[in-house]
Amino acid sequence: MSDVDEQSRRRRPRRRPFGVLVICGLLAFQAVLLVVLIIGLLEVDMTNMVETDLALRAYGVKLSLATDASLAVRTLIVIFATLFVLTFVEAVLLLLLKRIGWIITMLVVGVALFAQLVAIWFGAEADSISLLLYAMTALYLNQSDVRGAFGIGMSRIDRVIARSADAVDGAMGDAA
C-alpha cells in the first residue's frame, strides 16, 4: 500500500452517528429560539417599568428598581447571546466529532436545564419548547453510538479497538 493511500485513509473522517446529526439539528433550532429571545428583550422599553417588569417576570426575575431592572434585562441579553455563540461552537465541534464538543454540549445542556428548573421554581413561566429541546439533546448525547463516536465512557483499550475497527472498515472499503 502506498503512502498516499495511507494518508488519505488517515484523513478520512469517522462516520457520524445519526444522533450527532439530530443533536446538531436541535442545536440549530435552539439557536433560532435564542435569537427570538434576544430580539424580544431588545425590544423591551426599559423606561416603561410595567413592560420591563413583565419581561423580567417571564424569566423568573422580580425587581422593582429601574436601574436593577434595566441591568437585569441587559444581563439576560448577554446570557442569551453567549448561549447563542456556544450553540454555534457546539454544533461545529460535534460535526467535527471532537470530544471537547461533546463535553461542552453536555455542560451547557446540564446548566441550561438546571437554570430553567430553578427559574420555574422561582415563578417563571415554563418554556416547554426549550426544556424539550434540551432534554432531547441530553438523551441523544447519552446514546451509546454517540458516546462511542466521541470516545466517552470508553477505556483506552476500547478506543484502540474502535480505531482498529475503523481502519479495517476503511481497508475493506478500499479493497471493494
pLDDT per residue as tens digits for the range 75-108 = 889 998 999 999 999 999 999 999 999 999 999 9
Q: How many other CB atoms are found less than 10 A from the CB of residue 69?
A: 21
Each residue's pLDDT tens digit, 56-79: 777 766 665 445 777 888 888 999
Q: What cell was used for 11?
A: 484523513
**Is the residue at 7 inside a domain?**
no
Residue 169 located in a structural domain? yes
- pLDDT for position 132: 92
The parent domain of residue 29 ranges over 17-175
Domain for residue 46, yes or no? yes
Burial of 54 (0-12, 13-18, 19+ CB in 10 A): exposed
Q: Is residue 26 part of a domain?
A: yes
25 backbone dihedrals φ, ψ, rounded to 5°: -65, -40
Enter the C-alpha cell of residue 31.
Answer: 439557536
Residue 11 forms part of a structural domain: no
Domains identified in the chain, total number: 1
User: For residue 34, what are the contacts with CB-CB under 8 A and spacing of at least 6?
Assistant: 80, 81, 83, 84, 87
